[in-house]
Structure 1
Amino acid sequence: MASRSSAPVSLATFNGKRHEPPEPGPGEVLVRVAATTFNPSEAGLRRGLLRSIVPVVLPYTMGLDVAGTLAQGDRVIGRLDGGAAADFAVAPANVLVPVPDGVPLEDAAALPIAGLTAWQAVFEHAAVAEGQRVLVNGAGAIGRYAIQLARHAGAHVVAATSARGAAAAHGAGADRVIIGWEEIEPVDAYIHLVPADPVHTGRIRPGGVLVSATTPADRLPVGPFRGVHFIVRNDTADLAALLALVADGTVRIDIAGRRPLTDLDAVHAEADAGKLTGKTLLLP
């Protein structure tokens, strides 16, 4: 299979038969994929719920996060517009970032979308600073990075999560973990990462900020605070900065599971049934 779509990509193995990797075009490189991941947004993409935001041309190959090697052996990661669920992917060279020594290449596939979303929520939109109090609602893959990054910025972090996510929130370094509705002290920033309307907004200090990666701007509550809804931006500078924090041990990559790429259908089914949490790697 060597077709091109809005995300140019090829599988080197398809229906048990070998196929030649695709030829990169101008400005592109061929990546031998070491790992991709499952992202919840891909379930929506599969169901056609995101067609107005992410138009695709069929046939389309899944896989937004990619980690792999180039022909010369360079280890890279990046966010694609699809196509990483393959043995080889053709990617624009300008979306890839070198992986530092000491960072496991497969694990680094868990960084691009979840890590960039957390980075931009914490540093760009919430502008978290030392001494602030921050509420992170959600302890999935994005929330675990957001907790670590807010702590790195010097904030006191409260994580709101379900009972299932409490251990992960503690492990990410949250100063306090609340399950369901519990009274909390006022916060300077509220980072909302779950697919439900935000609660606890009455605890945002006047002049604070509510940052949502899920609830649209027209549904954010109005208060004496700033409300921001954002869609993650593909930014190699942000990704390189995040990788540097992973390399020096400041940020830990949290992997919930490792599955063969042939389990992709099963992983989507488990996610649809609410049985999947955290970041699952898919290995060709």
Structure 2
Amino acid sequence: MKQLVIKAFGDADQLVLTELAVDTMATNEVRVKMHYAGVNPVDAKTRAGLGWGAQAIKDRLPWSPGFEVMGTVQEVGAEVSIHQAGDRVVGLLTGGGYSEVVIAPANALVRVPKEVSDEMAAGLSLAGMTAWQGLTEHGSLKAGERVLISAAAGGVGHLAVQLAKDLGATVVALASPNNHDFLRDLGADEIIDYRNEAQLATLEPVDLLFDLVGGASGLALLSYLRHGGRVVTVPTITAEQVITAAKSQGLSATGMLKHNDTQQLALLIDAVAEQRLRVEVSHVYPLAEGADAHRQVETGHTRGKILLKG
């Protein structure tokens, strides 16, 4: 089978397509033919040697990125009863998704209903659970509150816009003008060009900031929170900086790392099946062009999700 691996941290050219034998499957695992693997900012940061992901695998190189995978079950282990050959499944891994064939714990995967396309399912796991957990578990967002979402047209952001609306919140979305119609279609109540200071000056205070950019952007957006407001900042590299500044202003602030929860994932997939949630896929690259996919995600200006096709 073919798999994209890195042998050292560095730029996108470190991703090399390699021919490998398929690993032996344990009794509680399944073998999955990968249809699509999600490409996420954390993939590129880990490949570059940055953040918690790189620290976790620095002694295990060569390593294959890809935390988010969708495909069809080819074979199940002797102890597996929740899946069978032919099932379409999706879920989160600890890496290795950039591979034609994936061996995964059976309980890490959720069945995909026929109403959900392969592409929509493939783009949902990591971004969807980050958005849901950020808004609810960390942000405690309630109906009637105002939430400000930065990078609102991105992979996590466009799902957060829809989930926040479904929770009954008023959604203020920050994005470049070419994404305003897209966000309006998703239900955003107020849409602001993040580079337009005059528009930002008219922004009424919000209860929750869901910060998907971090750094200078996260720091600047703190001023739009009402007194006692809440901040959830997702980028781990600048989380401490944003949290410290927020608390100095009397705000409640936290960083977050998403945790895998197949029950949550199943509910998100059901929402897609019921057309209450839409996953926007803007770019699909062949597995062999993984380096180009990483370069695209590193622009920071991708609408929705990027996928690799197996």
TM-score range, shorter chain: 0.7 to 0.9
Aligned match of 1:172:
186
Aligned match of 1:70:
73
Aligned match of 2:205:
186
SS at match of 2:278: coil
Q: Residue 100 in 1 paired to residue 113 in 2?
A: yes
Aligned match of 2:308:
282
Deviation at 1:274, TM superposition (A): 5.3
Alignment-mate amino acid for residue 255 of structure 1? V
Matches within 5 A, 1:141-180: 141-180=155-194
Q: Residue 241 in 1 paired to residue 254 in 2?
A: no
1:2 to 1:185, Cα distance in 2 relative to 1, 3 A: closer
Q: 2:234 aligns with which of 210, 213, 231?
A: 213
Aligned match of 2:104:
91
Deviation at 1:218, TM superposition (A): 4.2
Distance 2:155 2:301 in 1: 14
Gaps of 5+ in 2: 6-16, 75-84
Distance 1:213 1:56 in 2: 25
Aligned match of 1:40:
41
Q: Please give the root-mean-square deviation of Cα atoms over the aligned residues, in Å.
A: 2.3
Deviation at 1:114, TM superposition (A): 0.8
Distance 1:228 1:274 in 2: 23
Aligned match of 2:9:
none
Distance 1:252 1:271 in 2: 20
The range that moved more, 132-141 or 160-169, is 160-169
The range that moved more, 52-61 or 140-149, is 52-61
SS at match of 1:216: helix
Contact residue 215 and residue 242 of structure 2 kept, 8 A: no
Deviation at 1:20, TM superposition (A): 5.6
Describe the superposition over 1:87-131 as per-residue Cα deviations: whole angstroms up to 9, x where unpaired. 110111121111122001232110111111101011111121111
Tell me which protein shows more helix as a share of its residues. Answer: 2
SS at match of 2:308: strand
SS at match of 1:61: coil
Which TM-score applies when normalising by structure 1? 0.88
Describe the superposition over 1:137-163 as per-residue Cα deviations: whole angstroms up to 9, x where unpaired. 112110000000000001110011233
Alignment-mate amino acid for residue 136 of structure 1? I
1:275 to 1:150, Cα distance in 2 relative to 1, 3 A: closer
Which TM-score applies when normalising by structure 2? 0.81
The range that moved more, 219-228 or 67-76, is 219-228
Distance 2:187 2:162 in 1: 6
Q: 2:141 aligns with which of 128, 144, 153?
A: 128
Contact residue 2 and residue 22 of structure 1 kept, 8 A: no
Divergent runs of 4+, >6 A: none
Contact residue 280 and residue 303 of structure 2 kept, 8 A: no
User: How high is the sequence identity, in percent, across the aligned residues?
Assistant: 34
1:217 to 1:249, Cα distance in 2 relative to 1, 3 A: same
